[in-house]
Chain A
Amino acid sequence: MRDARVALAGGLALTAIAVAIVLSHSPQILVGTNAIEPSTRLTSVPGGGSACQADETLPAGTSAIRLSLGASAGPRVAVTVLSGKTVITHGEGAPGWIGYVVTIPVKPLDHAVHHATVCFAFTGANERVSFLGVPTPTRSAATSGAGVLPGRIAIEYTRPGSSSWWSLALSVARRMGLGRAWAGTWIVLLVATLMATSIALASWLTIREPQ
């Protein structure tokens, strides 16, 4: 039984340390968008497709690009940002994503880039991928291998913030208290109590002699 106690104590301590380390990191924050709402499904392309969108502004520090694409088992997405013909940054996202947005980590930018062209290409052919954005005139629309698309795609740029999760804890707790039946920050304390009780019960059950 001593082994179980040591394993349990060590495991829980490691978990606590890991959580503390994760919370000392900063969340990704939005540093810029192209002001396009992902309100319309512009078109869909088969796997293996690609597209480019010009006149994008990438803020300094951008380390991830969020593309408004829709899929149920999205393909691998490779993003390349060009200024003229020079590659400014690039990155690749894993396949299997779902929903209306895919975030691609890219090599962080040390300065802002104006009038850049964001190109992305899909590998694999699981299903068609939808492009979400707003209709625009042809001259400002995105382009794909098949020609000009009917509009521009919503794109956002993110980088790690400067505040850790620890320093954001209070604002997160306040937000958790909203939008529910019994509103209030006390919800966070209730959640913490429920989980602490369940962990205490589980620990006791694990180290006691079974009957």
Chain B
Amino acid sequence: MRVVQQRRERDVSWDRVILKLRSVPSRLRSVPMATWLCALVACLSATSWSLITPAFQVPDEQAHFAYVEQLARTGHLPSSSIEEYASDEVLALEDLEVGRVSLQPQHHTIASRSEQRKLQHDLANVVATSLSSSGAAGVAASQPPLYYALEAIPYDLGAGGGVLDQLALMRLVSALMAGVTSLFVFLFLRETLPATPRAWTIGGLGVAFMPALGFISGAVNPESMLCAVSAAIFYCFARAFRRVLTPRLAIMIGALTAVGFLTKLNFLGLVPGIVLGLVLLAKRASQTLGSRTAFRALASALVIAAGPVYVYMFINLLSHHRALGLAGSVLAVLVSHHSIFGELSYIWQLYLPRLPGMHIDFADISPIRDLWFKGLVGEYGFQDTVFPRWVDSVALIPAVGIVALSAREVCVHRSALRRRVVEFGVYFTMAVGLMTLIGATSYLSFPSEAAGFPEPRYLLPLISLFGAVLALATRGAGRRWGTAAGALIVVLFVAHDLVSQLQAIARYYG
């Protein structure tokens, strides 16, 4: 009797799973077509960037490639952070003159057919001979492995063609991530601004054409996946705040957080905001779902989120390594450096005007203008491909316009904002956490380098909030001018993407 009962229960749960799987296509169909098209636009733009940017002319792409190579060839994580790569990669770097071209914009990429022939000949020969893998992956060695494991698929697919084929295919996977990012930004806007469908499209397209996203997603860099994961988490939170934190949504947030942990260390910056959000949502859900269900959902989310960290520590301890492996050494440096007040003052000045009494950490530059804004306007390659100075000044005009329209919308609907202050507080905490992490990392090389780490690409995990600003600006223009303002915002980002690509072409091939 008991066996029959158990079998019946098992059948029922299987039926549930099958039903859920069957409902996936109809659920996907319920996603507006504009969402998919925004994702496609982002993919196309990033693919275009992947073709324009010369091989290995993206920060740390050599190290990320080496990580994938190490993982694909040996099945083991990198064991060293020295910059000693496998022979095929070294040959490609030499023949492409990567060291000569990077950071020196006066030097362009190879220009003659004889150089191309030499490159192809050398790479063909190195493929034929045995390939050694050094176990080193430069600055990427301390990063978690998920993105690299995913990139091992295109790496293997391109194995017959050599390093450049592999790199091109790996870049396409990153370009897909740009599509996923844009998709989730669109869905995030659909949840946060449900009354204005036009604003979702404008925000989604603005993000899709954002050159900073296209550039980094057109390269082998875990930042592309981190953006996608972060955008998905923002979407889940927006959905949970608009409706309720169901157990399924909690598990999804937990799973995405686990994926984030496994993607890039910078994800740690978002964690305080995620935990805060889950706790607040569970508290709110306890009123509708009952405290038992709500807090069980919270617990499952937290356990799933922390799962990979425990597994990683367990494996490291079993193999007699430090609990957090190479990542642990990075984190140890991060928390043991300099005075806490000096660090806080530095982080503050990195994003905000200096307060009286603070030490002058940036004497002749304004980090907001010269690092962040200038970087968002256009810094490609090894940050060595930039627009002339006047472009930054001209770019201030539409930027101020967009911010003013968003601010107007926020002012007009401040009562609605007040009702959702908890939700915005969670997004704010996520943003502050990430910015603090970037500042703390940058402080490690201060004062020998005033700004060794602050690159706008590190802020891309907050891209959903950027999309929200664009969407708010569309609404802020009012009913009469909203559609025209939206179209102008799209044109602005199309133009920005186009001229950025031309700038990169001029820099490397001009």
Contact = CB atoms under 8 A, between A and B. Distances in A.
Contacts of B369: 96
A194 B47 contact: yes
Contact of B164 (A75, A96, A180): A180
A14 B491 CA distance: 10
A110 interface: no
A191 to B, nearest CB: 5
B106 A202 contact: no
Contacts of A76: 364
Interface in A106-132: 123-128
B452 A7 contact: no
Interface in B328-381: 360, 362-365, 369-371, 374, 379
A181 B120 CA distance: 9
Contacts of B164: 179-181
B106 A156 contact: yes
A38 B449 contact: no
A91 to B, nearest CB: 12
B488 interface: yes
Interface in A167-191: 168, 172, 175-176, 178-183, 187, 190-191
B interface secondary structure, majority:
helix
B108 A181 contact: no
A19 B498 contact: yes
Interface string A56-81: 00000000001000011101100000
B487 A201 contact: no
Contacts of A38: 104
Contacts, number: 219
A95 B510 CA distance: 25
B205 A124 contact: no
Interface residues of B, number: 87
B395 interface: no
Interface string B39-71: 011001101100110110000000000000000
A203 to B, nearest CB: 8
B115 interface: yes
Contact of B48 (A6, A191, A202): A191
Scoring B104, B452, B491, B502 by chain A CB atoms within 10 A of each residue's CB, the highest score goes to B491
B41 A201 contact: yes
A43 to B, nearest CB: 14
A110 B151 CA distance: 55
A195 B498 contact: yes
B384 interface: yes
A202 B41 contact: yes
Interface residues of A, number: 67
Nearest to A27: B510
Contacts of B448: 127-128
A11 B389 contact: no
Contacts of A103: 105
B225 interface: no
Contacts of B198: 210
A198 B382 CA distance: 26
Contacts of A47: 363-364
B483 to A, nearest CB: 4
Interface in B152-208: 158, 161-162, 164-165, 167-168, 197-198, 200-202, 205, 208
B15 to A, nearest CB: 34
A123 B362 CA distance: 12
Interface string A5-25: 111100110110011001100
A136 interface: no
Given A8-B490, A8-B491, A96 B365 contact: yes
Interface of B: 32-34, 37-38, 40-41, 44-45, 47-48, 51-52, 54-55, 96, 103-106, 108-113, 115-116, 119-120, 158, 161-162, 164-165, 167-168, 197-198, 200-202, 205, 208-209, 360, 362-365, 369-371, 374, 379, 382-384, 389, 445, 447-452, 481, 483-488, 490-492, 494-495, 497-499, 501-502, 505-506, 509-510
Which 5 A-B pairs give the minimum distances between C-beta atoms? A124-B364, A11-B491, A96-B370, A210-B197, A126-B450
Interface of A: 1, 3-8, 11-12, 14-15, 18-19, 22-23, 27, 30, 38, 47, 66, 71-73, 75-76, 94-96, 98-101, 103, 123-128, 156, 165, 168, 172, 175-176, 178-183, 187, 190-191, 194-195, 197-199, 201-203, 205-207, 210-211
16 contacts: A15-B495, A19-B498, A38-B104, A125-B363, A172-B509, A175-B108, A178-B109, A178-B110, A179-B116, A179-B119, A181-B168, A194-B44, A201-B41, A203-B490, A205-B38, A210-B34
Given A73-B449, A201-B41, 13 more contacts: A7-B488, A22-B499, A71-B449, A73-B451, A75-B365, A94-B370, A95-B365, A96-B371, A99-B104, A127-B449, A178-B110, A181-B164, A202-B209
